Amino acid sequence: MKQIFITGHGGPEKLQLRESPDPTPGRGEIRIRVKASGINFADILARQGLYPDSPKSPCVVGYEVSGVVDAVGAGADASWTGKETLALTRFGGYSDVVVVPLRQVFEKPGSISHEQAAAIPVNYLTAWQLLVVMGALKPKETVLIHNAGGGVGLAGIDIARHVGATIFGTASSGKHAFLKQRGLHEAIDYRTKDWTVELNKLTRGKGVALITDPIGGNHWKKSYKALRSTGRLGMFGVSAATTSKLFGPLRMLPVALGMPFFHPIPLLNSNKSVFGVNLGHMWHEGEMVANWTQVLLEGVAEGWVRPHVDKTFPLARAGEAHAYIEERKNIGKVVLVT
Ligand SMILES: NC(=O)c1ccc[n+]([C@@H]2O[C@H](COP(=O)([O-])OP(=O)(O)OC[C@H]3O[C@@H](n4cnc5c(N)ncnc54)[C@H](OP(=O)(O)O)[C@@H]3O)[C@@H](O)[C@H]2O)c1
């Protein structure tokens, strides 16, 4: 099989193609001939040495694939052979063959391509946990989605639209027209303007009911302030760390120093709540995550889950795909194809 390894911490050149014998599925596992692998921002953080959950390098990252089952292990239902699937992988997704426990595998809806299927698991499950499960978003409520143009952001727009909420989003300005077509009500260019001022104008000083924030550090303080009473802040990433001018483990320092501390008394008196989401720490809740996945796959059939693939790159050119995302060029998902 062919795999893309992170060979050390650094730039996209640290991604290298290597070949090794095909793996054999063990008990309860199946083997998938991968057609498409989703790229997530966490993979970039792993390459840069900023992702604590990453295996030690050299390693193969990748949390999701779509492809065709070609072998099943002992105890796994043989009827899976030949089925088109999508799967969550606990790393190892940047490969043309993966072996996965059957509980992490789902049938691919026939109406979407393998590329689109690989764009569903991480983005939509994260957005579902943020907006619906923990954020409890309700019809007519207001939500602010930061990085609305990223993979999780676009998934969040689909879900908030399905709920019937009013959706505000921050994104680079070149993405605004597309995001509005997708259902974003108001787009804020957070790179040239102070988004807190813009949001204040849009909500006439009231703030919003829910904010999803993957930027981290001091940014979480601003988001917390921008909530109205009964508002919820969902924190789920620290992409601010990539902009740090420091080196090595010190790169996290500005983000760590800027982080808010939420004391119960001010929380109580302001009628606000804060919560964290890390899908990568939900493996022990497989049944719960599988149930969310089923809802989302029904959403594909119902038409409200609309995975958008911005660009595909051949597996061997994973480094170019990383650079494309780091240059903030992507709207929605970037996918590796075999
Ligand atoms: N906790 C979880 O379970 C979980 C799961 C998935 C993702 N995440 C986090 O959610 C965030 C978005 O992930 P994603 O996969 O949706 O991202 P993505 O599709 O790779 O989107 C990247 C976009 O984020 C924006 N961005 C913001 N800060 C950036 C930076 N420092 N460098 C480059 N781009 C930056 C850029 O768009 P604009 O300039 O237009 O804003 C860029 O196009 C990341 O922080 C990721 O770690 C967390």
pLDDT at res. 252: 80
Question: Given the structure tokens 């001022």, which residue do they identify?
Answer: 197
Residue nearest to atom 13 of ligand 1 (CA): 41
Ligand 1 contacts (CB < 6 A) are 40-42, 122-123, 126, 147, 149-153, 171-172, 175, 214, 236-237, 239, 242-243, 277-280, 325-326, 328, 330
Which atom, in ligand 1's list, is nearest to the CA of 174?
Answer: 40
The Å distance, Cα 215 to ligand 1 centre, comes to: 8
Could you give the C-alpha distances from 51 to 47, 153, 249, 251, 307, in angstroms and in order? 8, 20, 10, 11, 25
Report the C-alpha gap between 131 and 175 in whole angstroms. 22
Residue-wise pLDDT tens digits, 162-181? 999 999 999 999 999 999 99
CB atoms under 10 Å from CB of 26, counted, come to 12
pLDDT at res. 24: 98
Cβ 50 vs Cβ 244: under 8 Å: no
pLDDT at res. 251: 80
Report the C-alpha gap between 61 and 63 in whole angstroms. 7
Average of per-residue pLDDT across 121-145: 98
Could you give the C-alpha distances from 111 to 8, 115, 117, in angstroms and in order? 39, 12, 10
Cα of first residue to Cα of last residue in the chain, in angstroms, is 11
Nearest Cα to Cα of residue 131 among 172, 164, 109, 178: 164
Report the C-alpha gap between 308 and 326 in whole angstroms. 18
CB atoms under 10 Å from CB of 182, counted, come to 20
* Confidence tier at 76 by pLDDT (50, 70, 90): very high
Structure tokens at 172: 């680079």
Average of per-residue pLDDT across 93-100: 98
Average of per-residue pLDDT across 20-38: 98
DSSP state of 233: E
Which contiguous run of DSSP H or E holds residue 88?
A: strand 84-88
pLDDT at res. 39: 98
Structure tokens at 4: 């893309």
The Å distance, Cα 76 to ligand 1 centre, comes to: 36
* pTM attached to this predicted model: 0.97
Ligand 1: residue of 43, 145, 152, 235 to mutate (most ligand atoms within 8 A of CB) is 152
Mean pLDDT of the chain: 96
* Confidence tier at 248 by pLDDT (50, 70, 90): confident
Residue nearest to atom 42 of ligand 1 (CA): 328
* Confidence tier at 98 by pLDDT (50, 70, 90): very high
Which atom, in ligand 1's list, is nearest to the CA of 146?
Answer: 41
Ligand 1: residue of 239, 244, 277 to mutate (most ligand atoms within 8 A of CB) is 239
Query: Is the pLDDT at 249 greater than 80, yes or no?
Result: no
DSSP string, 42-69: HHHHHHTT--TTSPPSSB---SEEEEEE
One-letter amino acid at 34 equals V
Residues paired with 276 in a beta bridge:
235
The Å distance, Cα 21 to ligand 1 centre, comes to: 34
Which atom, in ligand 1's list, is nearest to the CA of 241?
Answer: 31
Cβ 171 vs Cβ 148: under 8 Å: yes
Residue nearest to atom 34 of ligand 1 (CA): 328
Backbone angles phi and psi of 242, in degrees to 5: -70, -15
Handedness of CA 175, 185, 297, 87 (dihedral sign): positive
The Å distance, Cα 288 to ligand 1 centre, comes to: 25
Residue nearest to atom 8 of ligand 1 (CA): 237
Which atom, in ligand 1's list, is nearest to the CA of 328?
Answer: 43
Structure tokens at 239: 């992409």
Name the region of 132 (left: φ>0; alpha: ψ -120 to 50; beta: rest): alpha
Percent of the chain with pLDDT over 90: 94
Which atom, in ligand 1's list, is nearest to the CA of 191?
Answer: 39
Crossing angle (nearest 10°) for helices 121-128 and 151-163 = 50
Which atom, in ligand 1's list, is nearest to the CA of 129?
Answer: 3
The Å distance, Cα 270 to ligand 1 centre, comes to: 29
Which atom, in ligand 1's list, is nearest to the CA of 172?
Answer: 40
b/e 238-250 (16+ beta carbons within 10 angstroms → b): bbbbeebeeeeee
Which atom, in ligand 1's list, is nearest to the CA of 44?
Answer: 20
The Å distance, Cα 296 to ligand 1 centre, comes to: 21
DSSP string, 159-209: HHHHHT-EEEEE--GGGHHHHHHHT-SEEE-TTTS-HHHHHHHHTTT--EE
Ligand 1: residue of 37, 39, 40, 41 to mutate (most ligand atoms within 8 A of CB) is 41
